[in-house]
């Protein structure tokens, strides 16, 4: 009786119900259930982990195959480029032997195509500017034959370096001003030539100068360049008396 009470007390102390015998039975059953639970969960968790590992392995294998495929394609492309170009870089004449040479060729090709595209763009923009410039000129001067103007030698000389940099209207207006100034200068020179002819050697003072005579300042101003050269010493002597 005391022994049973002792077992019961011990069982109660660890939280198990019933008497000592029942307590032992209950304890055994409880521990067994806990172990069964652990055993039931272990295979399930292990299966999930195995599936994760298998999935990762499959993904890694796929990536390796993809890398190998890309590498093989790249090498095949390099060989095709080298064979197509007969082993020569057309941009600088250097040899194409390996992937580094092919990469250099492709970079030069890219730069060339970019420059070509930029030049085409600039050419198109320049042509558009010329079309607009011609239209603006014809609107301002509808009576002027632009084609004939461009063929005129004097205009071509005047407009050299200006066409394409300045509007045609501005060039033409400057050309007209130039012609006006040129005409005025031509008229002035013509008038001076007539005056010089009128004031020839026999017209200086109405008579020839005797040897030793001098010229006045007015007479010298009326002389032509040829007369000045012919009478240079005499003119110098005359200047001392003015």
Residues 6 or more apart in contact with residue 40 via CB below 8 angstroms: none
Given a cut of 70, is residue 144 above it in pLDDT?
Answer: yes
Name the pTM for this structure.
0.45
Between CA 74 and CA 38 the distance in angstroms is: 54
| pLDDT tens per residue, range 83-136 | 999 999 999 999 999 999 999 999 999 999 999 999 999 999 999 999 999 999
Between CA 143 and CA 149 the distance in angstroms is: 11
- Residue 95 is classified by DSSP as B
Query: Does 41 or 115 have the greater pLDDT score?
Result: 115
C-beta of residue 171 within 8 angstroms of C-beta of residue 163: yes
- In our burial notation (b when 16+ CB lie closer than 10 A, e otherwise), range 156-194 reads eebbeeeeeeebbeebbeebeeeeeeeeeeeeeeeeeee
Query: Does 1 or 73 have the greater pLDDT score?
Result: 73
Residues 6 or more apart in contact with residue 30 via CB below 8 angstroms: 16
Locate 24 and state its tokens: 């032992």
C-beta of residue 17 within 8 angstroms of C-beta of residue 6: no
Nearest residue to 171 (alpha-carbon basis) of 208, 146, 199: 146
- Other Cβ atoms within 10 Å of 105 Cβ, number: 21
Helix (H, G, I), strand (E, B) or coil at 163: strand
| pLDDT tens per residue, range 184-197 | 655 565 566 556 66
Nearest residue to 158 (alpha-carbon basis) of 181, 136, 188: 181
Between CA 201 and CA 222 the distance in angstroms is: 10
Given a cut of 90, is residue 50 above it in pLDDT?
Answer: no
Given a cut of 80, is residue 9 above it in pLDDT?
Answer: no
């Amino acid at each position: 009786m005391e022994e049973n009470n002792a077992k019961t007390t011990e069982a109660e102390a660890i939280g198990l119900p019933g008497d000592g015998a029942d307590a032992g039975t209950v304890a055994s059953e409880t521990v067994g259930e806990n172990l069964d639970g652990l055993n039931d969960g272990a295979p399930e968790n292990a299966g999930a982990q195995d599936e994760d590992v298998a999935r990762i392995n499959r993904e890694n294998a796929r990536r390796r195959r993809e890398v190998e495929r890309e590498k093989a394609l790249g090498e095949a492309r390099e060989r095709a480029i080298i064979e197509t170009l007969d082993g020569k870089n057309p941009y600088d004449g250097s040899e194409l032997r390996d992937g580094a040479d092919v990469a250099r060729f492709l970079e030069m090709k890219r730069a060339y195509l970019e420059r070509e595209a930029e030049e085409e763009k600039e050419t198109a923009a320049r042509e558009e500017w010329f079309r607009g410039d011609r239209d603006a000129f014809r609107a301002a001067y509808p009576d002027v034959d632009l084609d004939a103007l461009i063929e005129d030698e004097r205009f071509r000389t005047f407009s050299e370096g200006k066409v394409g940099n300045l509007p045609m209207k501005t060039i033409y207006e400057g050309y007209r001003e130039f012609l006006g100034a040129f005409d005025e200068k031509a008229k002035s020179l013509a008038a001076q030539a007539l005056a010089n002819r009128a004031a020839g050697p026999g017209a200086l003072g109405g008579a020839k100068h005797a040897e030793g005579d001098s010229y006045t300042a007015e007479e010298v101003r009326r002389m032509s360049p040829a007369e000045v050269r012919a009478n240079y010493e005499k003119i110098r002597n005359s200047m001392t008396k003015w």
